[in-house]
Amino acid sequence: MRLMRPIEIAAKEIPWIASNYVAAFNDPAASAFCDRLVSGGFEADLLVRVLPSYRLIYITAPKAASTPSR
């Protein structure tokens, strides 16, 4: 249902909103660094994934240029 889509999106953001407060409490310097990145227009949540259980940081490299497909 299209009417429920905004509610679904907002509900999925709740864990991320809560994790910001936990991260700020655990490591204030890292939280401040992420806040500076976001304030400059960099969307870290879209490009950086941290998986602590696997001891892994995955960084997406967005495509900057392309060739036309024919």
- pLDDT tens string 18-59: 777 777 788 888 778 777 777 776 666 677 788 878 888 888
3-7, 42-46, 60-64, range with greatest mean pLDDT: 3-7
Query: Rounded to 5 degrees, what angle do the CA atoms 15, 48, 69 make?
Result: 120
Residue at 32: amino acid letter: A
CB 69 within 8 A of CB 57: no
Q: Provide the pLDDT for residue 44.
A: 65
pLDDT mean over 8-25: 75
Beta carbons within 8 Å of 31's beta carbon, 6+ residues apart? 20, 23, 24
Whole-prediction pTM = 0.38
Task: Determine how many CB atoms are found less than 10 A away from the CB of residue 34.
Answer: 18
Quote the pLDDT of residue 1.
58
Helix or strand holding residue 24 (H, E)? helix 5-26
